[in-house]
Amino acid sequence: MENNAQTGNETSQIKPREPHIALLMSVCPGLGQMYAGHLARGIALYVALIIISWLAAIAFMYVENRIASILLLSVPFAGALLIALDAFRCARKQPRNYRLARFNRSWAYAGIFLLLLVTANPLMDFFVGKNVVRAFYVTSASMQPTILANDILVINKLAFPKNGDIAMIEYDRQASKSTQLTNVMEDQMIRRIIAGPGDTLEIRSKDVFVNGEKLVEPYAHYSDQMNKIDMSDEMNKFGPKQVPADNYFVLGDNRSFSMDSRVLGFIGKNRIGGKATKVFWSWSLAQNAIQWDRTAKALK
């Protein structure tokens, strides 16, 4: 009786690995390898994918060639696909009399998935997004035609923007409410730096002067219609004023529809959150389609 019970117990621990299940479980990279009996391999591939994806994102910010940029964008997706195919192969190579390891349990799969979902991924996104590179979803028309509503931009946190560059500006919630930034999404906005510390700036109608020299601004756009806020005076005249130390003067490219330094005043250096370098992805509401021609487009 004892031998029969033991044999029955051993038989219940034998279960072949199904390649298609390993493939499906790879929706979380590395989990398919865990299912196929290769826990260490799955962990190593997951970590490698995260590192390689972020390195590709950093390279994307600096590479100027558009084709190379698009190839870099595909790195995370290609990596995830290769990991899924590896999981399929690992499961197919296991013998039909595969004996379940201690980690081959439904609760273990769910636990790993939830652990990554609520800890590793958010922590990595927070650390890298705060200090290295992050995405920014544009909701307003303040930077048209350079940047369109529904563009997703890549923000380089490693580079500080200079005059003429496009910057992400960050506000805390209290400051946002006090300045009535009605068009700021999540207390952040995208604007172009026009003048920096020590520069003298003046606006006369549509002309902008920095240190007495008129700027050539092919990116600037004006409309006969004005913003809902009565900003006509601020739109047409400013200064001359000198930009204080550790401050910047910013403008939106869509000059008739932009809340910027003409109303908000100078922007402190501590509020400059990085340089907007490229369009990562763009969606057209009018056409209800992806705007592929804007993918990996460099911002100037």
Domain-ending residue, one of 107, 131, 155 = 131
Q: Give CA–CA dist 156/210, Å, rounded.
A: 26
Query: Is-contact 91 26, C-beta < 8 A?
Result: no
Q: Give CA–CA dist 61/66, Å, rounded.
A: 11
Give the number of other CB atoms < 10 A from CB of residue 225.
8
pLDDT on residue 116:
82
Domain-ending residue, one of 131, 150, 167 = 131
Give the distance, in angstroms, between the CA of residue 152 and the centroid of all CA atoms in the same chain: 7
Q: Which residue type, as a one-letter code, is found at position 281?
A: W
Is the domain of 91 the same as that of 53? Answer: yes
Is the domain of 198 the same as that of 278? Answer: yes
Query: Is-contact 215 221, C-beta < 8 A?
Result: no
Sheet of 213-214: strand order equals 213-214, 207-210, 200-204, 237-242
Q: What is the pLDDT of residues 272-294, one digit of tens each?
A: 999 999 998 898 877 888 888 89
Closest by CA position to 190, among listed 238, 229, 141: 141
Phi-psi domain of 205 (left: phi exceeds 0; alpha: psi -120 through 50; beta: other):
left
Tokens standing for residue 191:
């604007």
Is the domain of 144 the same as that of 127? Answer: no
Is the domain of 93 the same as that of 155? Answer: no
> Residue 159 — φ and ψ, nearest 5°?
-115, 135
Is the domain of 76 the same as that of 198? Answer: no
Domain-ending residue, one of 131, 166, 197 = 131
Q: Give CA–CA dist 273/275, Å, rounded.
A: 7
Q: What is the pLDDT along the chain (300 residues), one digit of tens a residue?
A: 333 333 334 445 899 999 999 999 999 999 999 999 999 999 999 999 999 998 999 999 999 888 999 999 999 999 999 999 999 999 999 999 999 999 999 999 999 888 887 777 677 777 777 788 888 999 888 999 999 999 999 999 999 999 999 999 987 655 444 444 444 445 789 999 999 999 999 998 889 999 999 999 999 998 765 544 445 555 678 889 999 999 999 999 998 888 889 888 899 999 999 999 999 889 887 788 888 889 899 998
Is the domain of 147 the same as that of 116? Answer: no
Which H/E stretch holds residue 3? helix 2-12
User: What residues have CB less than 8 Å from 140, skipping those under 6 apart?
Assistant: 149, 183, 185, 189, 257
Domains in the chain, number:
2
Which H/E stretch holds residue 113? helix 106-115
Integer-rounded Cα Rg, in Å, for the chain is: 27
Q: CATH code at 276?
A: 2.10.109.10
Is the domain of 139 the same as that of 99? Answer: no
Is the domain of 7 the same as that of 147? Answer: no
Is the domain of 125 the same as that of 162? Answer: no
Is the domain of 138 the same as that of 280? Answer: yes
Q: Give CA–CA dist 172/179, Å, rounded.
A: 11
Is the domain of 68 the same as that of 196? Answer: no
> Residue 110 — φ and ψ, nearest 5°?
-65, -40
Is the domain of 163 the same as that of 272? Answer: yes
Tokens standing for residue 84:
């899924």
pLDDT on residue 45:
96
Q: Give CA–CA dist 7/10, Å, rounded.
A: 5
Which H/E stretch holds residue 85? helix 75-93
Query: Domain span at residue 181?
Result: 134-298
